[in-house]
Structures are given as C-alpha cells and as structure tokens.
Structure 1
Amino acid sequence: MKNLIYTTIVSIALCAACAHKEKTQPTPEAQPAAKPAEVTGPLSAQAVMKPAKKQKTKGMVHFSQSGDKIKVEAMLEGLKPGPHGFHIHEKGDCSAPDFTSAGGHFNPGSKPHAGHEAPEKHVGDMGNITADSKGKAKLTLELSGTSIGGTDGILGKAVIVHENADDFKTQPTGNAGGRIACGVIEALK
C-alpha cells in the first residue's frame, strides 16, 4: 500500500511539473509553424532594349523569380560580333541619347565591380553577352542577392548593353565602353 501511495504522489508531482513546463516553455510541437519566406511583388519582368543613336542593338531581356533566384534570359540583335558588357544600372531612365541617365551599376550593397560568378560583386553585374558573326546574342543566367520587386529589387532599373567587353577588374564599370542599348525593367502581368 505504501508503494501505491508513493507511486501516486510521484505521478501527481511529475504531471504537475509537465503542466507547468508546457505553460512556460512550449514544446516544439506546440509552437506555431514558421511561415515560408514570401516573395513580394511581381514574379516576372522584362526590359525592351532600344538602341542608342547611330546603333542598331535591340531585343528583349526577360526576368523570372523563383525563390531567391532570378532567371535572366536575353535575346539581342544588331550587335558587333564579340562580347559586350551587360549590366543592370541603378536608374530606369533611358532618356539621354547616350543612356548616361541610367546612372551607374545597380549596387545596393556597395560591393566592388566583378564578374557575374564572383562572390563579391554589384547586384547588377551580369558579365558579358556575346554576339555571333551575324550580330545576334542569347544569354541565360541566374542572379542572386536581389529580387524582382521590393526595396532593393531590380524593378524600375535599366539594363544596359555596352560597346566593349567587361574586363571584370576596372572599377567601377569594367571598362566596357559606351552604352549602345538600354531598356527599363517593367513588371509583367
């Protein structure tokens, strides 16, 4: 009988301790599930590229958001054969004849200029796009460290194609020369 009374008292004490623990420190099962990160804003956008004065470069650059990555697909024509610097610039303004109204490279993190694959680079550094012997160029790449919408997103910025290849070293522009095509990144519905 003493063992039964002792077991009952111990059981009551343990249940009381468990109840107290549940009230002050919920178990992981009792905590609400964390919500997945939400992407705000549009999931796709495009830039219609127009040529600078005395240039022929035109085309389309499409952006599609998937998680924390942006797929970039570019199709251009009217380029001189070879590589051309290809960047997102900070202002969505293609009004100046030489497209200087688009400002510098989009760089909200104040990083150094570098190649697209470098761990430390401008968000807008997309490397070079290379035209074939007929002046046509296609490029597919993935951007990280930004989104289409949001405070530091690419929406409303400009895509610029440069006259020369980006050397990935010269600060802050890669010594890519003049701006030969410009397009403002706009949301797709």
Structure 2
Amino acid sequence: MAAPAIRRSWLASVYRKVGSCLFNSVFIAQAVPRGDDMDSAGPTKLEFAVQMTCESCAVKVRAALEGKPGVSSVSVDVGKEQVLVESALTSAEVQALIESTGRRAVLKGIGGSEHDLGSAVAMLAGVGRIQGVVRFLQLSEQRCLIDGTIDGLEPGPHGLHVHTLGDLTRDCLSCGEHYNPFGRQHGGPGDSERHVGDLGNIVAGPDGRASFRQEDSQLKVWDVIGRSLVVDAGEDDLGRGGQPLSKRTGNSGERLACGIIARSAGLFQNPKQICACDGVTLWEERDRPIAGKGRSKAGTETPAAHL
C-alpha cells in the first residue's frame, strides 16, 4: 500500500523541481482563434528574447510587427537581443509574427501600460500530450489579464477554472473545487453571480491548440498564487445548462490537465539565461521536453512529471 503514496510524493517533488526551473522561462506557441467566451483585453507589453546579430535582423523583426492589427508599438535592441512589443494580441500571436522572420523568440516578461500589481504563471500537463502555459498579470485593482496557450486538446470548447488547492498528489483530482470564496453559484466570466475561478471556455482548433487572452474583473493574482488551474474535457455551460452539475461545475466533464499557479517574473524582471537545475540554456530549452528523457544537458535525466 505504500507504493502509491511514494509515487504521489515523487510526482509532486518532480513537478516542483521542473516547475521552479521553467516558471520564468519559455513556451513555444502559435496562434489559433480565441474562444468565443473570452473577453478581449487591452494592450499589454511583452518582452521577448530574440536571436539577433545585426541591424538587418532588427529591420526584419520590426517589419514583421509594425503596422500589424493589434500591435501598438515595437522596440528592438540588437545588443541585448531584446524585443519589446505593446500589443492586444496573445503572446503566442506576437511570438509567431517574430518567428516568421526565421529568428527564434522566447517570451521573458509581460507587463501593463501602467505599473502592474503582480504576475503569476501555471504550467499545465495532463492526459496524453496535453501541456500548456497560462500567465496572469494584475493590471490594476480591478483588471487581471489572462494569456495562455494549451496544446494537445480535442478540437472544440473546454472549460477553464481556478481551483482552490495547489495539490497535485492525486493528479488533478486533488485540486479541490472551483475557487469560490464568496459561496456563489457557478456562472460565466461575465456574470456577477459566479465563482471567482470561473474563466469560461477556451476553444482548441483542429490542431488541438487553444490560444486565448482575456481580462477578468473578479480574479486577483495575489488571491490565486498557490492554487491550481484546471482545463476540463468538455464545454462549460456557464451555469445555464439545466443539468444537475450546471450550477456547481458547468457540467464540463473530467479534469484533463492542471498546474499550480506560481509567482512569476514581470516585465524586465527575468534575467534567466540558463536553468540551474540541469544546465539547459534559454535557447536549448526550446528543443527539449519539459522533463524526462532528452531534457538534461549533462546526461542526468530528470524524471518525467506526468500528472
């Protein structure tokens, strides 16, 4: 009977190790249509590390970004290999534009036009090949930006919720219920009567990728750090489905993937160039799995963090 407990403890420790290494790092993404239930958000600033060696590189990056719908401003520093973009696009969409020039790009920080009040990130993993990154940025006391990309989903809508517990000892089953500090019924992100953790639906395209960006007026970064983010198998009916679970969970099915919400670096706060836990550099990390065989640079493999 001790084996399952040992396995759960091992999984939790692996997740913490891998997560602490990657929280301020990278997720490679391309754009797909946003979910219909997601509200659009105003411009934010995105800091990218971009492999550039000369001014002609900068010219091509500027040309790929300037004048594009949703892009407000672009600043390129070749010496620092840094590109700063103010945009209303998802971070995945901006990254895809930069990489259309043939340069590799890594998102290093995200911030608002005004002084932000904190940021967080959740690295999601789960059933099969599902994995993703979702970032939270508190733009003001009333506005929290949520920007993410999740791969490996079945095409179509999937419920997305913040859950009360940051506990992965029984995979996503130990994350607790939806974060609901005011004891309200389940609803949609635009409803006044909703769980604080109710974030509506994300929509995966034919390739299984969901890329999304929204602002939320109830979620606060400082309240959800240490909790978990969960993506579900089915569509959230936003409490309007008339099913027994509609007013509790949105009847969105089983929990497919989850991750602990951790504090993360904001704009210009991430100097990371190498992962101290396994020696993988910022650029090498792009071509390696999150964990397991092929991750370690020195040949000492980190066990896979299957949730």
- The answer to whether the aligner puts 1:176 opposite 2:252 as a matched pair is yes
**Is residue 185–residue 247 contact of structure 2 (8 Å, CA) maintained in 1?**
yes
Extract unaligned runs of 5+ from structure 2.
1-115, 240-245, 266-307
Cα distance in 1 between the residues matched to 2:261 and 2:163 = 10
**1:141-156 mapped onto 2 (5 Å cutoff):** 141-149=214-222, 153-156=223-226
Q: Tell me, what secondary structure is at the counterpart of 2:174?
A: helix
- What does residue 21 of structure 2 align with? none
**Is residue 42–residue 188 contact of structure 1 (8 Å, CA) maintained in 2?**
no
Q: Deviations over 1:72-107 (max 9, x none)?
A: 00101000000001000000112214x110000001
Cα distance in 2 between the residues matched to 1:143 and 1:88 = 12
Aligned partner of 1:47 among 122, 130, 140? 122
Q: TM-score, normalised by structure 1?
A: 0.72
**1:85-96 mapped onto 2 (5 Å cutoff):** 85-96=159-170
- 1:42 deviates by 6.2
Q: Deviations over 1:23-49 (max 9, x none)?
A: xxxxxxxxxxxxxxxxxx961110000
RMSD: 1.4
Q: Tell me, what secondary structure is at the counterpart of 1:101?
A: helix
Cα distance in 2 between the residues matched to 1:106 and 1:67 = 21
Residue-pair matches, total? 143
Cα distance in 1 between the residues matched to 2:219 and 2:152 = 29
Extract unaligned runs of 5+ from structure 1.
1-40
Paired letter, 2:236:
D
Aligned partner of 1:58 among 111, 131, 134? 131
- The answer to whether the aligner puts 1:158 opposite 2:228 as a matched pair is yes
Give runs of ≥4 in structure 1 deviating > 2 Å.
Answer: none
Cα distance in 1 between the residues matched to 2:199 and 2:219 = 13
**1:86-125 mapped onto 2 (5 Å cutoff):** 86-97=160-171, 99-125=172-198
**Is residue 57–residue 78 contact of structure 1 (8 Å, CA) maintained in 2?**
yes
Paired letter, 1:96:
R
Aligned-residue sequence identity (percent) comes to: 36
**Is residue 197–residue 219 contact of structure 2 (8 Å, CA) maintained in 1?**
no
Larger Rg: 1
Q: Tell me, what secondary structure is at the counterpart of 2:221?
A: coil
